[in-house]
Structure formats: C-alpha cells, structure tokens
Chains A and B, each alone.
Chain A
Amino acid sequence: MSLAKPAMRGLLGKRLRFHLPIAFALPLVAAAAFKYGVTEPRKQAYANFYKQYDTTAEFNNIREAGVFESVRPTGK
C-alpha cells in the first residue's frame, strides 16, 4: 500500500480555479468572433450596397417586372 493519500480538501476550489477563467474567456472570445466575423462584415455589406443604390432606377426595374399593384408597367 504505497499509494499517495488522495486530495481530501480544496476540490471545489481547484475546479473553480481551472474552470472559471475559461468560463469567462470563452464567451468573450465567442462574442468577439461573432462581432468581427459576422456583424461587422454584414454592416459593411449593407453600407456598400446602399452606396451605389439608384432608387429610381431600381423602382423602374421592379415596375417593369410587373410586381407592383399601385403602378402598372409602362406601355400598353
């Protein structure tokens, strides 16, 4: 019987010292990854789209396609 005496105390403290920093770091990392991987590119995509958006031209295109109910396509 030359086994070492197992740890009898401080088990919860040891677990918390290991897991709590991870528990705080991982969500922060996840949030940062989502912000810079998803939301920032999405905001950029919308900004770029509307930078070159010609409202009137698009309106006429959609009108010609015939999906509006308030205006008919030009022509007969």
Chain B
Amino acid sequence: MLATRALSLVGKRAISTSICVRGGHGVAKVDDYALPAYFDRRENPLPDVQFVTELNAVQKSLKEKEKGSWATLSNEEKIALYHISFKQSFAEMNEGTKEWKSVIAGMFFFIGMTGLVVLWQRKFVYGPVPPTFESEWKEKEVQRMLDMRINPVEGFSAKWDYENKEWKK
C-alpha cells in the first residue's frame, strides 16, 4: 500500500504486478484496475498519472531538460512534454459527437410506433363516444351557452351578433 502510494506520487504505473506486503500475513496482488488511472475529463483536469508510462530515450532526455530552466525549451519541446503527460487536449475531449442524430431518430421512431398503437387502440379497444359529441347535441349546447351569455365581454358570447343571430365577422 505504501509502496504504491509512493510510486504514484512520482507518476509511474509500472507496478501492475508488484506485490504489497501487509502486516506479515502474505502478499496481495494489486490488479490493474485498482491502480490510479489516466482519463481525459473536463472536470478532472490533472489526472493521477501521466499518459505515457514508459518514456523512450528522447522523452527521458526531454524530462531531464525540463528540470532546468524552462525558458530554454523550444515550442516543439513544450508540446512534446505536454503529450507525455496528457492524451487529448481540452478542445479535443470537449468536442461533440454526432450522437444527437441517433437520439432524434430514435425519438421519432418511438413516437411513430406509439402513434400506431394509439390508432389501433382507437379502432379496436375503445367503445363509442357519448351522445354529447353529436352535431345536434353540440348545436343545442352552443345555443344554450349563447342564451346564458357565457363570457359576454371578451369571450364566447362577445363574438355572437344577437341582433342578426349570426357570428360576428
């Protein structure tokens, strides 16, 4: 445990099969997934480990040069150091995918399926509507509403011309 802690501070992950000795009881193999991992996330800008675990010769010399004054580093060297520590830039990790097209397509598909189901239900499941939906009934309903002067100021009866017995133009 202490060994892995110390090594992760340095930033190396080459201990995937190393052994932790605990209290004299024996050894416990530390699995890969239990170690600190690297991942590109906007909300975690500085991951626990570097991206590149085993440095090649060029990178090792670059890391040595980094210990000196940074003003001597060229732009390409700075970018190379960045790529040792990080995989994607923020711009790359934040860019959107084309997933929304699939989402919209799925939405339309399921709405369509639901529409078919509703149509089938209307035909084969539901009984007839009440008689209050027939035209004659509705006409009598409208006439009674006008007789009662429903909403005479701005609403229903306001649109009816009582002199000429027709809807106002």
Which residues of A approach B to under 8 Å, CB–CB?
Answer: 1, 42, 45-46, 49, 58, 61-62, 65-67
Contact = CB atoms under 8 A, between A and B. Distances in A.
Contacts of B2: none
Interface of B: 75, 78-79, 144, 147-149, 152-154, 162
21 contacts: A1-B75, A1-B78, A1-B79, A42-B154, A45-B153, A45-B154, A46-B153, A46-B154, A49-B152, A49-B153, A58-B149, A61-B162, A62-B147, A62-B148, A62-B149, A65-B147, A65-B148, A66-B147, A67-B144, A67-B147, A67-B148
Contacts of B149: 58, 62
Contacts of A58: 149
Contacts of A66: 147
A45 B154 CA distance: 7
Nearest to A61: B162
**What 10 pairs across the A-B complex have the smallest Cβ distances?**
A65-B147, A49-B153, A67-B147, A1-B75, A67-B148, A45-B154, A46-B153, A45-B153, A1-B78, A62-B149
